[in-house]
Structure 1
Amino acid sequence: MGAGAGRTARDRARRELSQNFLVDRHAVDLLMEAADPAGTVLEPGAGEGVVTRALAERGARVTAYEIDPLLAGKLAARTRTHGGIRVVRGDFARARPPREPFAVVGNIPFSATARIVDWCLRAPHLTRATLLTQLEYARKRTGGYGRWSLVTVSSWPWFSWELVARVGRDSFRPVPSVDSAVLRIRRRPEPLVRDRRGFTELVDLGFTGIGGTVRASLRTRYRDVDAALAAAGIGPDTVVAHVRPDQWITLYEALSR
């Protein structure tokens, strides 16, 4: 029998679209507590609408995006009498962001995590994004392994990253192979760095890995690197992933004088 034998069209759609529906009310409550939804909220991957309805129950004005036409149609039919819910059939990551302050909340497809997070970080009026992601993804983005990623460091002056809660795999149907987590990304009231381009160039250079250490990479373009490293409390042999976001800010301040 072929690899797809015995699977229905819905089974194939769930696999292709990374559809793992949230069925645990406690997990929904954890997501809502972390999101504290109000005002305009966009929801990626609305699925069967469990999160959609929870957001609306808390008074949010929800625009729910669902790429699966069957699910989008069903959700639109179920919520058509609810004035606080609008269902959009389409890819959230291709949507135009609102021109007013808004939040993003959702149980997002694992396969689209990077695209959705990137969309959120680029949206000028986003206030916060509260997302159910793979646990490993959330830990990597919040320094959970003692290592920091490029996306977290480069956005740190403008956004904080926090792993709020762990959600077990049994909270979903079908049950995924890994646990999840509530990841919260919040725009800072005031940026920690004003020159986005200068900070980004510094971080990008550090993450090139030239020479194997932060010191070796930065010395290809900057002077007084050793003094800047000392001011930030970074050893000369430190590899880039072990440099904390706050240390990058100190590096930038020292090297941009």
Structure 2
Amino acid sequence: MSDASQTPDPGAQTAPLLGAADIRRLAESIGVRPTKTLGQNFVIDGNTIRRIVGAAELDPAETVLEVGPGLGSLTLGLIDAAARVVAVEIDPVLAAKLPTTVEEFRPGATERFTLINQDALKVTELPHDPTALVANLPYNVAVPVVLHLLEHFPSLRHGLVMVQDEVADRLAAGPGSKIYGVPSVKAAWYGTMRKAGVIGMNVFWPAPKIHSGLVGFERQDPPATRASREQVFAVIDAAFAQRRKTLRAALSGWAGSGAEAERLLRLANVDPSARGEVLDVKAFARIAEAKIPLEA
């Protein structure tokens, strides 16, 4: 980008970030109290923001998508590190305040900041194509938000999200793990997920009762298959609906009968007596593909 107004200022790396007093002042100015309904826990520690932004490994030319910016703690750090930030905030009161906060703490940076007042689960278009996702996601919708954004924005090549610690473990889990399940496999459809750290409780206001986890991801091409994403995900959902069942039993409803499930599994070179937690996403894609001729 040749326009200097769209390039982050290198000197901004030392610019102040929001602390506890700033967060409480901003919240009080608009009459906001964090709500459990929207999963609002605001980061009040600048070092934590620096850690998150550093771990995201952003290129200065990137457009970053942030979901749930809240009062702007992470937003300011992202503005310092990227060419543009597009923030999606569901709360209209917080959304109205954020541009003025950006102008107060990063004068002139509003040209590189776009605010969308919408539910992230309903966003399918943005004014700028994001290349990275960096967000402190509400615990209650973290996995659906990540999967929705990866589905609808193929321009997202990598990112780092903060979620409930046990959710971070699930997203990054591999086949054979006790916590490997639907989120693990569906996330693997889009790329590789890795646990990137743990965040304590006292850096938030209000402090949650559990730790948060950082998950980094790199997009990769989905498995080569004639099956669609929807077809593969239907197999994944069926396989994990009752974890203790063998795949022959778990997929009997999806296939039409146990015998048909066994036939399709063998066609896909998968042991019918195995359970879903031992299969990688490629195996689920083979199972979904095995059924396609029957539907043609």
Shorter-chain TM-score range: 0.7 to 0.9
Separation of aligned partners in 2, 1:162 and 1:251: 24
Aligned counterpart in structure 2 of residue 23 of structure 1, from 44, 47, 55: 44
RMSD: 3.2
Tell me the alpha carbon deviations over residues 22-63 of structure 1, each in whole angstroms, 9 at most, x when there is no partner.
Answer: 122332223212322342111111112121111111123001
- Conserved in 2, the CA contact under 8 Å of 1:193 and 1:199? no
Aligned counterpart in structure 2 of residue 138 of structure 1, from 156, 168, 177: 168
With over 3 angstroms needed to count, the CA separation of the structure-2 counterparts of 1:222 and 1:129, relative to structure 1, is farther
Query: Normalising to structure 2: TM-score of the pair?
Result: 0.69
Instruction: Show the counterpart of 1:4.
Output: none
The one-letter code of the counterpart of 1:96 is T
Map 1:219-230 to 2 at 5 A: 220-223=260-263, 225=265, 228-229=269-270
Instruction: Show the counterpart of 1:97.
Output: 125
Is 112-121 or 243-252 further displaced after alignment? Answer: 243-252
1:178 aligns with 2:210: yes
Deviation (angstroms), 1:85: 1.5
The one-letter code of the counterpart of 2:261 is R
Name the SS of the counterpart of 1:111 in structure 2.
Answer: helix
The alignment covers a number of residue pairs equal to 242
Separation of aligned partners in 1, 2:281 and 2:146: 21
Map 1:224-239 to 2 at 5 A: 225=265, 228-229=269-270, 236=273, 238-239=274-275
Deviation (angstroms), 1:153: 1.3
Separation of aligned partners in 1, 2:125 and 2:216: 18
Which ranges in structure 2 are unaligned for 5 or more consecutive residues? 1-27, 252-257
1:166 aligns with 2:202: no
Query: Normalising to structure 1: TM-score of the pair?
Result: 0.78
1:33 aligns with 2:54: yes
With over 3 angstroms needed to count, the CA separation of the structure-2 counterparts of 1:34 and 1:91, relative to structure 1, is same
1:151 aligns with 2:151: no
Instruction: Show the counterpart of 1:203.
Output: 236
- Conserved in 1, the CA contact under 8 Å of 2:226 and 2:289? no
1:248 aligns with 2:271: no
1:112 aligns with 2:141: yes
The one-letter code of the counterpart of 2:179 is R
- Conserved in 1, the CA contact under 8 Å of 2:172 and 2:194? yes
With over 3 angstroms needed to count, the CA separation of the structure-2 counterparts of 1:154 and 1:132, relative to structure 1, is closer
Which ranges in structure 1 are unaligned for 5 or more consecutive residues? 1-7
Aligned counterpart in structure 2 of residue 53 of structure 1, from 63, 76, 81: 76
- Conserved in 1, the CA contact under 8 Å of 2:135 and 2:162? yes
- Conserved in 2, the CA contact under 8 Å of 1:104 and 1:129? yes
